[in-house]
């Protein structure tokens, strides 16, 4: 028979697995020939021109998510 600690552990594990699966289903950025943050040209297989732009893009997307706004926004749509 399970005690409360076992039930709590099982619930935590189920929540963890659900969170991992939700992350896997999120849309992913694909390289587009320009940096996703500053729109400077980059090599074909790159998404950002440098680690600063990658970090800034992630910070911006996190802020948009916290504000309840759409994310994965292209700053300069074609």
DSSP-derived 3-state class of residue 35: coil
Report pTM. 0.57
Q: Over the stretch 66-76, which tens digit does the pLDDT of each residue have?
A: 888 776 655 44
- The answer to whether the CB of 21 falls within 8 A of the CB of 13 is no
52 membership: H or E segment, kind and range: helix 51-66
Residue with tokens 């999120």: 26
Q: Over the stretch 24-77, which tens digit does the pLDDT of each residue have?
A: 777 778 999 999 999 999 998 999 999 999 999 999 988 988 888 776 655 444
């Amino acid at each position: 028979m399970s005690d409360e600690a076992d039930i709590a552990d099982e619930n935590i594990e189920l929540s963890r697995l659900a969170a991992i699966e939700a992350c896997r289903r999120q849309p992913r950025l694909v390289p587009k020939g320009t940096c996703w943050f500053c729109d400077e040209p980059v090599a074909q297989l790159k998404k950002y021109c440098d680690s600063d732009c990658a970090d800034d893009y992630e910070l911006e997307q996190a802020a948009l998510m916290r504000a309840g706004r759409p994310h994965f926004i292209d700053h300069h749509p074609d």
